[in-house]
Amino acid sequence: MPRSRSEDSSASVRTSSPRPLLKSWPAISRRVQAAEGVALFLDFDGTLVDFQPRPDQVKLAVRTSAALRKLTAIPNVRVTIVSGRRRSSLLRFIKVRKLRVSGLYGWEHQEGIILAGPAMRQVSRIRKLLATLERELPGIYVEDKGISFAVHFRDASQEVVGKAQRMLSKFLPRFRAYMRIIRAGNVWELTPRHVRGKGPAIRTLLRELPAKFLSFYVGDDLTDEPAFRALGKGISVVVGSRRPTNAYFSLPNPIAVCKFLELLSRELA
């Protein structure tokens, strides 16, 4: 499966195991207290909510929503959701004022993304081809995001995944001028060419921060690895994964992420 070099999440990962974040809190607490503000970047699926068979079946826990609300009310704290979902999809599940929401891997903000006519025509052609893929291969689910497509294969057998790869590899090269593939854990995401993944998006967002802000990035997926690298001296946290990672700290699941959010809000209050 072709993949953008800038978003090759398998490249340059650390091989040492990340440290449990909650057990490392005293050292992190000192960094929080020394900072003039905190920027918190959070993935959504697998980080704030558990995965479900279909993307529209997730639910943000009341406790997690309350923790986000408390954090956004604290001066000099910026909380941003950075997800592969479209921004409109995220806003259906997250009802927190002052929360910043960036869809399409950090490239879709309040103004949205508009594609030119030629690109939209290519999107329509891809839509027809992917409909065939979904009909012919059991366990493959194509999520149509309007200007991008997520080909989910979490429920497909290895044989079906192999067939899907071969089919995609045959027709995708002709759309390379308009679309790129971002590889997630159990998803191939076909996005507009200028959507370059979370690493470049996070670097742009970091440049907007005051110099003495402490940055956190929390995510669970391969698409979060470039963001971990982009964070530099910030605090990177991988959720639930035992694979090699660029993150320096870990949390086991979304429940633990909620506990971390509550702990951080108490630290900053």
pLDDT for position 21: 96
In Å, the largest CA–CA distance within the chain is: 57
pLDDT of residue 105: 94
State the pTM of this model.
Answer: 0.88
What confidence score (pLDDT) does residue 227 get? 96
Domains of the chain: 35-112+196-268 (3.40.50.1000), 117-192 (3.30.70)
User: 3-state secondary structure string, 199-263?
Assistant: HHHHHHHHHCCCCCEEEEEEECCHHHHHHHHHCCCCEEEEECCCCCECCCEEECCHHHHHHHHHH
149 near 129, Cβ under 8 Å?
Answer: no
Cβ–Cβ under 8 Å, residues 107 and 194? yes
> Which stretches in the chain have pLDDT values below 70?
1-16, 114
**Tens-digit pLDDT profile for residues 168-204:** 998 888 898 889 999 888 899 999 988 989 999 999 9
Name the one residue in this structure whose structure tokens are 């949205």: 112
Which residue type does 9 have?
S
Q: Which pLDDT score is estimated for 12?
A: 55
